[in-house]
Amino acid sequence: MPLYRKDIQFALLSYIFNNDQAVFTSSYDSASPKMTFADLYIESMSRSSKCSRVVREKLLSDKDLAVSVAMVSLLVNVGKMNTTLTCIAHRFFVALY
């Protein structure tokens, strides 16, 4: 059975977000204990000025939902970064000619 891109993406995201090694430091409170990547990403999303009060409360009250939203969010943001880098490189090469 072949591995498809979506299978690999889900497996990688699951591995990243379900890793329980607390090695990250909060950028909001450096005195707080180390946290996992999932906790760090969820904290960053919930403290964002773009996050509404209702979404913030849901993220902080339901860990499973928060991890699912964080996984999708990371996947979308990486896609945006890839598109941005491609556009910047394209403009760079067009400017050369």
pLDDT at 3 over 70: no
Number of residues written out for the chain: 97
- Look at the chain and report how many structural domains it folds into: 1
**DSSP characters over 15-49:** HHHT-----B--SS-TTSPPB-HHHHHHHHHHTST
pLDDT tens figures, 11-35: 888 999 999 999 999 988 888 999 9
Q: Whole domain around residue 13: which residue ranges?
A: 5-96
Q: Tell me what pLDDT residue 75 has.
A: 80
What would the pLDDT profile of 44-94 be if each residue is shown by its tens digit? 999 998 888 999 999 999 999 999 999 888 887 776 655 555 555 555 555
* Whole-prediction pTM: 0.73
Confidence (pLDDT) at 89:
53
